[in-house]
Chains A and B, each alone.
Chain A
């Protein structure tokens, strides 16, 4: 279980990115965090990944505090971030360098087959489309078999068709060995299509304002009337999140 308790993050420039943030994510749960830009959702993911440290509060995975990157926690960024000098198979093996070569080879070909890029193993990153490159980034994260996979707006740079395609694909990958997923997005439809639970955040400082559990059966139909009703509900929450009157600490003088 991922346990985030009373976390706040103040950057050196005095911006308070998160305040009083608490959240628990159950093993195997697909949690989606939605919020406008600057609401601290990327900051939160970086803290969970151990890339940054919270100013106050604790983050723990199965009881062990996260203070630096851990092998059980994988991350997919907004950009694929592939090493341009490595072929696709070697990019995929990037995070399992400590395993024996034979094991690496098996896992890499499995992972590439699962993201539908088995035939691209020897290609260079520059030869891939944006969607293919992001699939490799997914394979690279999953090949290490993390307990928790963090995804920071992973599909926001892709066109709508590719995005839908990859969202469905992500659910298949999730179903395969059920890691805990924490995905950050500003796309409501994406959130509804993927999430077991949706957390709505508001900015200045970043905090949770609403939690929704979409009671839509999977696989979800984006065109269905229930889906649209839910979309409206999330939209209302987001809208209120922006307009709700702010507390005193919301706008520290130095942050403006």
Chain B
């Protein structure tokens, strides 16, 4: 890529010209800490409520018990197995969902005929609840991994398809005209103008898709898994151990937040050009 290094260098020097309001490390640290206030405060409150016997904590175990359960699961090695099984399903489902959603979204955003052909059907399919697919997917793809991954891919597909095909329609016509003056082919028009222009929307759609992937994995693991955080959840329910259910839910929350953070940070460098609203300090 020509100029990429030059770009990086120049951007670095551009930002160093602007007097920094505060050191970046301090800002990152505080914003991360601010985000912890709410969950830690709630956990602490609940811990106190149980410790002071305002609640017996039987149906909603206190955080200390949930953490103890997590450590116990970690010690036996069960947790790692569950986490890896679930992560693999989400990763595969996300990958297929993103590829399909991006391809069909770009095609239906670009060609009117493709849009007329596929969009009505996809819009109808979109409204089918995920759980409704479970029996059919088991019949079609068996009880093992294939049906689970496909279910997750379906969940990831729709927000990406919808956002991308819609965003392409709102790309500035004036920029597209520049591509026409330079005699861009259809493919160049899509890859050099339409996709970059829709990138900010696309990234939000990826994050929404990933979130749905995490939701659909639970539905997928309800259909007879032997491993996975969703299995752990069901197991906790069937053996009457709320702490195990909450441990599984906590793991979902942590993993979901972590993967979303990875996605957001990983894509941030492609969006440095954005000239949007910066939230007030």
Given A71-B183, A127-B14: A51 in contact with B177 (beta carbons within 8 A)? yes
Q: Which of A103-130 contact B (CB under 8 A)?
A: 104-105, 121-127
Determine which of B7, B10, B182 lies in contact with A94 in the assembled complex, contact meaning CB atoms within 8 Å: B182
Range for the number of chain A residues in contact with chain B:
20 to 34
CA A105 – CA B14 in complex, angstroms? Answer: 21
Determine which of B7, B188, B193 lies in contact with A90 in the assembled complex, contact meaning CB atoms within 8 Å: B7
Q: State whether B273 touches A124 (Cβ < 8 A).
A: yes
* Minimum Cβ distance to chain A for residue B82 (Å): 40
Q: State whether A94 touches B178 (Cβ < 8 A).
A: yes
CA A69 – CA B6 in complex, angstroms? Answer: 32
Q: State whether B196 touches A87 (Cβ < 8 A).
A: no
B128 within 8 A of A: no
Q: Which of B1-19 contact A (CB under 8 A)?
A: 2-3, 6-11, 14
Interface residues contributed by chain B, number (CB under 8 Å): 27
Q: State whether B196 touches A122 (Cβ < 8 A).
A: no
Given A87-B10, A90-B3, A122-B3: A75 in contact with B273 (beta carbons within 8 A)? no
Q: State whether A84 touches B273 (Cβ < 8 A).
A: yes
Q: State whether A85 touches B273 (Cβ < 8 A).
A: yes
Q: Which of B199-224 contact A (CB under 8 A)?
A: 199
Q: State whether A87 touches B178 (Cβ < 8 A).
A: no
* Minimum Cβ distance to chain A for residue B167 (Å): 14
A68 cross-chain contacts in B, Cβ below 8 A? 183
B197 within 8 A of A: yes
Q: State whether B181 touches A74 (Cβ < 8 A).
A: yes
B275 within 8 A of A: yes
CA A86 – CA B274 in complex, angstroms? Answer: 11
Determine which of A83, A89, A95 lies in contact with B3 in the assembled complex, contact meaning CB atoms within 8 Å: A89
B175 within 8 A of A: yes
Given A104-B2, A105-B2: A49 in contact with B181 (beta carbons within 8 A)? yes
Residues of B within 8 A of A (CB): 2-3, 6-11, 14, 174-175, 177-178, 180-183, 188, 192-193, 196-197, 199, 272-275
